[in-house]
Chain A
């Protein structure tokens, strides 16, 4: 029996309870808690929290669960995506092959070959977005999916920069996602040794006597210490020298050691390009070494630096609690981070079990970024029926200024209300709300069907098959709505208008 089938009787019971006026069973504190650790509360999340208790729920969610708990339907959706069966080594080989076959051809032909290949790669990136999205919409393990976005964004790369285009799905899956609840050092190291980051921040170009500071600076400013973390321009230059030699090898050579260099996946370390002279980095003496050990040591220094504990703690608290988190809590989180040698789950546990996290004064105060807005809209209106078409979601994110994998700069998208709350943003959300409700037919037919010129009656059929289930939705939001919002919702003339207004309401902009 599939996960989904097993859940159905439970859901039916709960929905029946809800419909029969037992909505008071949904406690406001539970709702407020879950709103911040999920992409939008569903009946399933409430049920899990009620069954496990807050502690049990956290025990479950603070461990990386992979694709556990996904329904058979969602699993087979993911399995059917070509990106799930593609290794970046094979893509690099494809690229090499295409370049070889284009040898001797005209420049135009060469460009055409590269263009075609990049189109294929872009499709793989879109599939990575689909994979990430079905997990975000349907996994019971919501926190890990929220953190996948968080850490990707923290270690942002831009899909349109050079080879990042084909390296990105692997980067998200293997460097980021599997480490989101582990040790920060492992995460940072996986990122540093991933070709996507080395290409994106130009370290693949950084070599002895040909220094490029880009990665060194952002590694301290954005990834670890923070801009006020106590480093100087000379530390940037020292770290750039330490990072020389860490690069990429897109050839088909197998993993292993080759003379002086070693290769792991598409990562390579080249001692001949490494600056082995003596350096002083953050007041530590580096006598000079030809090996990768200098980089390992720099990672250690950065991960154990008190500025990193503070910077990462603050960023997590800003993401999950408040634009202006209280200092006492930040100190406790940073203390946990340092004590546990950068254990992300432990740091989060300090946050989630804090008095502040349960304080109603902090509930419903985080302005959703576009991704949270889009995902929470779908989870509220269509919590169970798996979408067939993810293009409208990508389109909405583009409209709202958070296009998928397309933040060009390494700072990642903002997480503060002031980053997103603007007049244009709100108006676009109203339009998108209307589309998700009234135009939902498009969500439940494939993009291929739409591209082939779908018959309007097919769209209408898809739409009718997925009605707005007001009775099921209402109890999930009612405790959060103001009397004014409730009065206005009561004026809706049909379920589509009701849903448009609900997703447009000020309460729904926050979590």
Chain B
């Protein structure tokens, strides 16, 4: 297995897309720490198969109908995503970055998710004053028509901050029933209060969404929404981002990844979640039509899971994980970032994947290339982060 990057890390302000307003970004947060080792399978590692006697995904050449699909001599994809992520990868529209994540060591879902949404590095206390996507909106405020929407039940830390970002839960009835007279009276109730912006944005967003999704069925699942019903949400998000240029930066979360028990391998609970997630994202790509060429999706999770399976055919909280970048215009079809051999000796704390590719360095690289950010803008959005060259844009 190779290590390191293609070349020097000096980034020119090379933009991927001609017009600054073109680029669209969707960040997908997998809450609960998904098991990257079951998605991107290190099939050349005997240690992987020894560590996971009941949940390893079978080798590509094993003749097993559930066998993983080889991507290169080291890595294979879970067959659960062979109709969704695999075609994207083959069309060079998907990049996978193993050994990635944050340097959080709490192994607490909630601490690590917040850290990642705030865009912080590990170590210090969490600063909830702003999330990195909010800072991104701020940094882009001078260029083009970039603004954002959170496709979540509530506004989570990633979008907290100075820029006002509406959220759209995509839950229940999309149609608003409030007569305009009452809407006006309610707006006047809020005039001059600190919630004023939220109240009016809420009513305006409802109108926009109702119009864009007039006949759309919306999912009725609970909480962050199981990945299994993700497709309906993904379709609605694509329509909103496609038809409402105002929503050029989006965020959505998907729950159900905390697989401590019976996670399965190419079949089972985790595989079903992966199928739902990757299937939803391919639908998203299709629904965007021509705009897919200038769109990037980043999929990440707060940390990875233990490399070895636990006592219940599941996995416990770990460290490094595999991050995805999808996009119609990227140079994909590759495994990117720093790597090292998958072996017992290389495990972090003798239990987890190392973290060699900081999620912030991936985001910094992406923002530099997508938006032409120089050092000052990057410093505003991701203070202290270094944009490594991942070579896919």
Chain A residues within CB distance 8 Å of chain B = 160, 202, 205-207, 209-214, 217, 221, 227, 233, 236, 398-399, 401, 403, 406-409, 411, 414, 418-428, 430-431, 434, 484-485, 488, 491-492, 497, 500-501, 504-506, 509
Docked-complex contact B169 and A217, CB < 8 angstroms:
no
Tell me, rounded to whole Å, the shortest Cβ–Cβ distance linking A118 to chain B: 15
Once the chains bind, are B189 and A205 in contact (CB under 8 Å)?
no
Contact of A431 among B106, B169, B176, B260 (CB under 8 A): B176
- Please determine whether A214 and B316 come into contact, CB atoms closer than 8 angstroms: yes
Contact with A along B13-35 (1 / 0, CB 8 A): 00000000000000000011000
The docked-state distance in angstroms from the alpha carbon of A214 to that of B317 is: 8
- Say yes or no: A408-B223 contact (C-beta < 8 A), given A426-B199, A426-B202: yes
Q: Give the top 9 A-B pairs by smallest Cβ distance, nearest first.
A: A210-B311, A427-B202, A423-B202, A401-B153, A205-B312, A422-B155, A423-B201, A406-B222, A214-B260
CA distance A217 to B183 in the complex (A): 47
Give CA–CA (A233, B108) in the complex, Å. Answer: 11
For the complex, give the distance between the alpha carbons of A418 and B126 in Å.
14
Residue of A nearest to B258 (CB): A409
Query: Chain B residues with Cβ under 8 A from A399's Cβ?
Result: 171-172
Residue of A nearest to B32 (CB): A409
Residues of B within 8 A of A233 (CB): 107, 349
Question: Does the CB pair B182–A500 fall under 8 Å?
Answer: yes
CB pair B203 A427 closer than 8 Å = yes
Q: A398-B222, A420-B154, A427-B176 are in contact. Are A501 and B202 (CB under 8 A)?
A: no
16 residue pairs bridging A and B, Cβ less than 8 Å apart: A213-B310, A214-B260, A227-B110, A401-B171, A408-B224, A408-B255, A422-B155, A423-B166, A424-B167, A426-B195, A426-B202, A427-B205, A427-B206, A488-B185, A488-B188, A497-B182
Q: Which residues of A contact B171 (CB under 8 A)?
A: 398-399, 401
In the complex, which residues of chain B have a beta carbon less than 8 angstroms from the beta carbon of A221?
106, 108
Contact of B203 among A212, A213, A414, A430 (CB under 8 A): A430
Nearest opposing residue in chain B for A205, CB measure: B312
Chain B residues within 8 Å of A425, by CB: 154, 167, 198, 202
Q: A423-B201, A509-B195 are in contact. Are A403 and B223 (CB under 8 A)?
A: yes
Cross-chain contact B177 with A418 (CB below 8 angstroms): no
Q: Which residues of A contact B255 (CB under 8 A)?
A: 408-409
A126–chain B nearest beta-carbon distance, Å: 14
Q: What chain B residues lie within 8 Å of A504 (beta carbons)? A: 186, 189
Which residues from chain A contact B291 at a C-beta distance below 8 Å? Answer: none
Shortest C-beta distance, A374 to chain B (Å), equals 15
Choose among B108, B154, B206, B311 the residue that contacts A422 (Cβ–Cβ < 8 A).
B154
In the assembled complex, B272 has its CB within 8 A of some CB on chain A: no
Residue from B154, B258, B310 within 8 A of A419 (CB atoms): B154
User: Interface on chain A toward B: helix, strand, loop, or mixed SS?
Assistant: helix
Contact of B198 among A207, A414, A421, A497 (CB under 8 A): A421
The CA of A430 and the CA of B31, in the complex, are separated in Å by 29
Chain A nearest CB, measured from B190 CB (Å): 6
Q: Contact between B223 and A407 (Cβ–Cβ < 8 Å)?
A: yes
Q: Within the assembled complex, what's the spacing in Å between the Cα atoms of A10 and B111?
A: 51
Pairwise interchain contact B192-A401, C-beta atoms closer than 8 A: no
Tell me the residues in window 157-183 of chain B with beta carbons closer than 8 Å to chain A beta carbons. 157, 160, 166-169, 171-172, 176-178, 182-183
Nearest CB of B to A490, in Å: 11
A145–B196 Cα distance when bound, in Å, is 32
Q: Which residue of B lies closest to A236 (CB)?
A: B107
B186 contacts across to A, CB distance below 8 A: 430, 501, 504
CB pair A411 B110 closer than 8 Å: yes
Q: Which residues of A contact B224 (CB under 8 A)?
A: 408
Chain B contacts for A505, CB-based, 8 A: 189
Which single residue of chain B is at the shortest CB-CB distance from A395?
A: B172
Q: Determine if B189 and A501 form an interchain contact, defined as CB atoms under 8 angstroms apart.
A: yes
Task: Note all chain A residues with C-beta closer than 8 A to B155.
Answer: 418, 421-423
Bound together, the chains give a CA A228 to CA B166 distance in angstroms of: 32
Q: Is the CB of B260 within 8 A of A401?
A: no
Least CB distance, A299 to chain B, in whole angstroms: 21
- The closest CB in chain B to the CB of A419 belongs to B154
B261 within 8 A of A: yes
Partner of A424 from the list B31, B205, B312 (CB cut-off 8 Å) is B205
B191 at the interface (CB under 8 A from A): yes
Digitize B101-115: 1 where CB-to-A-CB distance is under 8 Å, 0 elsewhere.
000001111110000
Q: Which residues of B contact A411 (CB under 8 A)?
A: 109-110
Is B47 close to A, CB under 8 A? Answer: no
A506 touching B190 in the complex, CB below 8 Å, given contacts A206-B312, A212-B260, A411-B110: yes
Known: A227-B111, A398-B222, A484-B189. A423 touches B198 (CB 8 A): yes
Chain B residues within an 8 Å CB radius of A211: 310-311
Q: Contact at B316–A212, with CB atoms within 8 Å? A: yes
A423 and B172 contacting across the interface, CB-CB below 8 Å:
no
Which residues does chain A contribute within 8 Å of B121, judged by CB atoms? none
Contact of A217 among B166, B198, B317 (CB under 8 A): B317
Please tell me which one of the listed residues B108, B111, B193, B312 contacts residue A210 in the complex, with CB atoms under 8 A apart: B312
Q: How far is the CA of A5 from the CA of B317 in the complex (A)?
A: 57
Interface: B128 (CB within 8 A): yes
Are B223 and A424 touching (Cβ within 8 A)? no
A164 smallest CB distance to B (angstroms): 13
